[in-house]
Structure 1
Amino acid sequence: MKTLITVANEDLRQLVFREEAVWRLERVTEVDFVELGDDLTVAQLADRIAGYEAVLTSWRSPKLTQQVLERADRLRFVGHAAGTVVPIVDPVIFDRDPETVVVNANSPLARSTAELVMALMMAGGWTLNRFADQMRRGVWRDVNQQTVIGLYGQTIGLIGYGEISREVIRLLQPFHATILLCSRNCPEEEAASLGVQLCGLEELLRRSTIVSLHNTLTEKTQGMIGREQLALMQDGALFVNTARGPIVQEQALLDELESGRLYAALDVFHAEPVQVDSPLLRLPNVVCTPHIGAMSRYWRGQLGETVIDELIRFVNGEPLQGRITREKFAFLTPQ
């Protein structure tokens, strides 16, 4: 078996495809690297891909278009050492006979993002940017601010259920929080085993002191959090978004924040990068980070490990842990 690993540069190769993991892979398949550079064309990849049964990709790898797949005469496995495979593979890949197996490394990225969620909950719940700004202005402490939300013992609402929210639930356990979950994708038995309470969106927004958004961006979820929904939140509550900016009606959120009624901790926005004159960046009750959910050094190092482990399982005829089916691909495709 022959495997082609495509990486943009040497730095990314060392970060994602570590030598130890590649050595394990070389026990079951012949491995070739191609350093793409940012200017590698789809046509060049098409010229290179013939004869390979597996291709491993990561950020900035060129898309496996129909043109490339037509030349991939022996391709049986694609492993994307990053998150969504939508920018990497053309849906025609699921029409091949036999169908090519597609996997990704979403689990490490989910854990990285969940860690950021906790950091934003802590930073927002403790209003760290407000205190830091006060100290820079020579104010030791605002005498009118006697307490902060914190995390311990709070009611925390999670909107959307997937790998990130599952990890957030696990990380929240030491804080003895009441965790509410709004999702049709979590059976009641599973919610009970996790120690969370299923409820509707309105109930979650009313009861929670901290609300964290985890839905996938689709036609149905775009703009689902608007003026009416935000008005249900308690005065002084914290809204955290590490999902996608357009799920929230940004002007409605900005109006609430400018009134001072709510706090927010945001890693995603409608337009990225955020312009330096955005009002979100000047509000003392808002923590903004530049879409850094996947930047954990440890978890990035697990991206290559994850897809290599999957390829080794594939070669050995063992069950895969994270296969992307045609149906899942269609669900993940942004609207």
Structure 2
Amino acid sequence: MKTLITIADAGLYELFWQESTLNKLSSFSEVDFIPLNERFTSEDLSERIGSYDACITSWGSPRFTPDVLARAERLKFIGHGAGSVASIVKEDVFDTSIAVTSANKVLALSTAECALSLMFAGAWDLAGYSNRLKEGQWSNNNRDTILGVTRRVIGLVGYGEISKQVIRMLQPFNTRILLHSSYCTKEEAAAQGVELCGLNELFERSDIVSLHNTWTPRTQGMIGAEQLRLLRDGALFINTARGPIVKEEALLEELSKGRIHAALDVYDIEPMPADHKLQAMPNVLCLPHIGGFHGILKRELCDFIVDELHRFVKGEDLLGKVTLDQYRRLTPW
């Protein structure tokens, strides 16, 4: 078989294509790469795709347009060495016999670890204590307390690979986990050890709320003043999903009261302006969208896809296969 790698960015190439990964792929497929640091469009892909059985993509790869699919006479596998495949394919790919898979399971581990880190950083007010120490303020052991994570009620909004990993990572901390999701069944919730509940109920009962929904027309602005007002005093709100899922003005209004805290990795406008109001709030920890930055896991994205292709060749089930139903839940490109 023949595989085309459509990653033109030299930095990504160096990160993803370790010698062991390339050797693994070369053991069962001929491999071709597009030129590095040269513009490679869907039109270019259309001209080349006809002689390949598989294509491995990542950030910056060209989209599989109708013309590309029409000329992909041999293509049976598209493997995306990243998270969402929305930038690579449209729904029409699911009308073909091409298997679509992604390394979202790997990337989800990184984002879940970031969310958990924000839980602890926010619940322990690490940024606040660090800043106050720089100003000469020491802690008061007889008076100070922190929210903490152990034995707290954690509310997760959205159920996918990331929230599944967050649930697993929280197991040692004896937390009670509430989940709001339209896609998790009662049976699966019971198997995960979480309690399904309504959105407003989750905000009302949780000490920490962590957002994990995809950003779609249905979820845009789903978190607003009504939900944020329900958070108890001292609660922590975390967003590692997408900024527009939350009504930012409502979040700013509630945070300005000083009664809740937030730890955020995503925003309405990215990059976030240095003079943004969130940056000046002492009860907010802001990060520059680093959820997928875990170095080891990032290097494993294409290695996972190579393993997926090998499973496909051997007729085995794909671990990262994307179905039409799953695609329709993705954040649009």
Q: TM-score range by the shorter chain?
A: over 0.9
- Which whole-Å CA distance do the structure 1 matches of 2:164 and 2:43 have between them? 41
Aligned to 1:23: 23
The answer (yes or no) to whether the contact 2:10–2:37 under 8 Å persists in 1 is no
Q: Which residue of 1 aligns with 2:139?
A: 141
Distance 1:329 1:165 in 2: 18
2:244 to 243, 246, 250: 246
User: Matched residues, percent identical?
Assistant: 51
Task: Give the structure 2 partner of residue 73 of structure 1.
Answer: 73
SS at match of 1:32: strand
TM score, norm. by length of structure 1: 0.94
Question: Match for 2:301 among 298, 303, 307?
Answer: 303
Offset, 1:95: 2.8
Q: Which of 280, 283, 287 is matched with 1:282 structurally? A: 280
Specify the alignment match of 2:37 in structure 1. Answer: 37
| Aligned partners of 1:38 and 1:60 also within 8 Å | no
Q: 2:60 matched to which residue of 1? A: 60
1:269 and 1:142 map into 2 onto residues whose CA distance is 34
- Check conservation: 1:6, 1:61, Cα contact below 8 A: yes
1:258 equivalent in structure 2: 256
Look up the equivalent residue of 2:152 and give its one-letter code.
Answer: Q
Match of 1:50, SS?
Answer: helix
1:20-169 aligned at under 5 Å gives the runs 20-37=20-37, 39-96=39-96, 99-141=97-139, 146-169=144-167
Using the TM superposition, give the Cα deviation of residue 38 of structure 1 relative to its aligned residue in structure 2, in angstroms.
5.7
1:315 pairs with 2:313: yes
Question: Greater CA deviation, 276-285 or 36-45?
Answer: 36-45
Where does structure 2 lack aligned partners over 5 or more consecutive residues? none
- 1:143 to partner: Cα distance: 8.3
Aligned length: 333
From the superposition, tell whether residues 329 and 194 of structure 1 become closer, same or farther in structure 2 (CA, over 3 Å): closer
Match of 2:213? 215
Q: Distance in 2 between matches of 1:38 and 1:273?
A: 25
Alpha-carbon distance, 1:311 to partner: 0.5
Helix, strand or coil at the partner of 1:331: coil
How many angstroms apart in 2 are the aligned matches of 1:286 and 1:142?
22
TM-score, normalised relative to structure 2: 0.95
How far 1:47 moved relative to its partner?
2.4
1:36 Cα shift? Answer: 4.2
Whole-Å separation in 1 of the counterparts to 2:326 and 2:295: 28
Per-residue displacement from partner, 1:296-328 (whole Å, max 9, x unpaired)?
A: 011112211211111101111112122212232
Which AA in structure 2 matches 1:317? G
Please give the alpha-carbon distance, in whole angstroms, between the structure 2 residues aligned to 1:141 and 1:68: 62
> Structure 1 residues 240 and 38, CA, compared in 2 at 3 Å: closer, same or farther?
farther
Q: Is the Cα–Cα contact under 8 Å of residues 224 and 249 in structure 1 kept in the other structure?
A: yes
- 1:74 deviates by 1.5
Residue 48 of structure 1 and its aligned partner are, at CA, apart by: 2.5
Q: Distance in 1 between matches of 2:293 and 2:231?
A: 30
Give the CA deviation at 1:142. Answer: 6.8
Over residues 22-79 of structure 1, what are the superposed CA-to-partner deviations in whole Å (9 max), with x where a residue is unaligned?
2122121111122342632332232222201111011111222223223322211110
- The Cα offsets for residues 142-161 of structure 1, whole Å up to 9 and x where unpaired, read as 78961110111111111111
- 1:110/1:163 contact within 8 Å kept: yes
Counterpart residue identity of residue 63, structure 1:
R
CA distance in 2, matches of 1:112, 1:294: 5
Out of 318-327 and 165-174, give the one that drifted further.
Answer: 318-327
| Structure 1 residues 53 and 149: alpha-carbon distance in aligned structure 2, compared to 1, 3 A threshold | same
Residue 330 of structure 1: how far off its partner (Å): 2.4
- Between the aligned partners of 2:53 and 2:87, the Cα distance in structure 1 is 21
Q: Do the aligned partners of 1:180 and 1:199 also contact (CA within 8 Å) in 2?
A: yes
Deviations 1:66-94 (A, max 9, x none): 23223322211110000111111233322
